[in-house]
Amino acid sequence: MKDLNKKRVAILATNGFEESELREPKKALEEAGAHVDIVSLESGTIKSWTDGNWGKTYTVDKTLDSVSQSDYNALMLPGGVINPDVLRTNKNAVNFVKSFFENNKPVAAICHAPWLLAEADVLKGRKVTSYGSIKTDIMNAGANWVDEEVVVDSGLVTSRSPKDLPAFNKKLVEEVYEGKHEAQMA
């Protein structure tokens, strides 16, 4: 088991995220010793989407306007259809995502979350996967799309759907562990 003690990871999400795609990576990171913040557009709670209906609510730890990539070692983006579609229309969310790439920090995106990566214009020439229905969008953003359980390309971890979570979580923890080392953060 990797020891992520002192590593900080942001999970950027808003209402309509696929619950398992936030819950399971968060649990895997925390079990490996990372500190995880749920970052969202507004304070309070955000509501998950589960099995075609609204699901559990999750407490927002930090608002997007109160954080920077310099606060974190890595970024995780859960999918769901609504969540990334809302976030990709928010300039601050797109810039937050882009800043992790500009600073060579690990980023993980599952299911529909690569929509946000396309909007941030960070997919050109990268090998990635996603939920099948957004394949054309991802390819149009310049990515080499493949239908695989989990893909890692220079610190970017992508997977297709909740059924890929075990492999996704394993690679996410590995990339955070091996990612760019920053000065220790409080």
Q: Where are the beta strands (DSSP E) in the chain?
A: 8-12, 17-18, 35-40, 45-50, 53-59, 62-63, 74-77, 107-110, 127-128, 144-145, 150-153, 156-159
Residue found under tokens 């309070």: 44
Catalytically annotated residues: 111-112
Place of tokens 């795609």: 21
Sign of CA dihedral 152, 157, 163, 169: positive
Q: What is the largest CA-CA distance in the chain?
A: 42
Provide the edge-to-edge strand list for the sheet that holds 8-12: 62-63, 35-40, 8-12, 74-77, 107-110, 156-159, 150-153
Determine the angle formed by the axes of helices 165-178 and 19-31, rounding to 10 degrees. Answer: 40
DSSP state letter for 179: S
